[in-house]
Amino acid sequence: MLLKYFYNDKLAHASYLVGCQATGEAIVIDPSRDISKYLEAAQTEDVRIVGITETHIHADFLSGARELAAQTGATLYLSAEGGPDWTYQFLDEYSSQPVHDGDSFNIGNIKFEVMHTPGHTPEHIALLVTDGGSKASAPMGIFSGDFVFVGDVGRPDLLEKAAGVRGSSEIMARKMFESLQRFKKLPDFLQLWPAHGAGSACGKALGAIPSSTVGYEKMVNWALAYNDEDAFVNALLEGQPEPPRYFAMMKKLNKEGPQLLSAINAPQRVAESPETVQQWLGQGIVVDTRPATVFAKNHLVGVLNIPYNKSFVTWAGWFLDYNRPIYLLCDEDSMEAIVKELQYIGLDNVEATMGTGVSAVVAAGGPRVMSYTEVEPEDAARSIDRGEVFLLDVRNATEWSEGHIPQATHIMLGHLAQRAQEVPKDRPVLVQCRTGGRSAIAASILRAQGFEHVQNMLGGYEEWSKLGLAAVNR
């Protein structure tokens, strides 16, 4: 048996290629939209991809199941659990075998047994795998998807928070409790391969180790320590992070079948011009991907700053619109990678890009060029005490509840664009987060919405706390 592990650290997403070396057949589990790595691995390992499966309809990235089926002709083994609202709508286009709890199928000599594990989503399945080429007749491991992670379990509140299904959080939390009772009966020796690692918004305490065992999770995973259902439900629902805005769109697109990449037009590359940027602003959303410290010094009015770093895709999913053109101001070297990362979450509507002359464009922008101030915590403290600024904390709700500056008003960054009218314009706005990165994005949002006097606190609440400045702690 061959097992290949793939990890996208921008989305904290793990996927797998499992192959039978005796027959040369392989299956891909929870594929991402960029399928090139699976095709390359299959060629290197001299196996053919004949199967594709995923543990559930994903919310945090666009699935590559349809893309792989279209390119390889492989059979789709997708969940038929969860009812009509959770039925994949593109299966008739490809070879497919819907699977239910207790079903099994083979890829070469490797056996996969389906275990329905609702809780994160209604249709979620886990896959027990047995290597038929070995002497053992028992399963060797479980692909757990977003059911059980290393140190955590899948969040049950996405239906309610991301998809708007009222009252579903508690229902799904109770289903998760039931699913975990089945999990506890599995043999301790089973290896555990989840679909996400640390940093994913599909749970609240995911570990950074890529794999585990059922027995180890029984010992250390907080969720498996509960035997009282009500206590478990309360603990599971408490402190879940805000789901990014794009999650609801991912559910829709993954159920309907994502657009094939071959049907997407490549963005146009245009010459540097402030006038062109102004035209773009009238047509869609313009994103400046330069570092926040560079953007702060000079930028064109109305442009949103999402620095191209590890968090780029997540914040793009919060702020960009699937129904409006997207225009990128980015370095030549990073343009292709940025476009590909946006496609990971279905933001295929990048119309055009402008290259590394961004700085020159800004410098030539005349009166349309603006800046915002970066201030040290000590200076910020004096301005706050004198009432000279409006202090805005853009961290998430859990961070806020654990400690905050007394004079601060809390609006989580992901909601700021829709709630900017709650921020007064009669004095400068001082924005802070934990370390200064998210508040820089917030500063660009406020500037784009017409706030003239915006400041970003360098080092954020972390530096504020190190200096021993006033705070309200839980």
CB 114 within 8 A of CB 104: yes
Alpha-carbon dihedral angle through residues 241, 246, 252, 255, given to the nearest 10 degrees: -70
Sheet strands (E) in 91-206 = 104-107, 110-116, 125-131, 141-145, 191-194
Contact residues for 467 (Cβ-Cβ < 8 A; gap 6+): 377, 378
Which residue is catalytic, options 20, 202, 330, 433? 433
Structure tokens at 99: 């699977």
Mark whether 433 is an active-site residue: yes
- The rounded distance, in Å, linking the Cα atoms of 170 and 233 is 7
Q: Which residue has the tokens 């101030």?
A: 373
Element (H or E) spanning 319, and its range? helix 312-319
Phi first, then psi: what are they for 311, rounded to 5°?
Answer: -95, 5
The helix-helix angle for 312-319 and 332-344 (nearest 10°) equals 60
Q: Exposed, middle or buried, 216 (CB in 10 Å: 0-12/13-18/19+)?
A: middle
Task: Give me the half-sphere count of Cα atoms (radius 13 Å) on the Cβ side of residue 428.
Answer: 18
Active site residues: 433
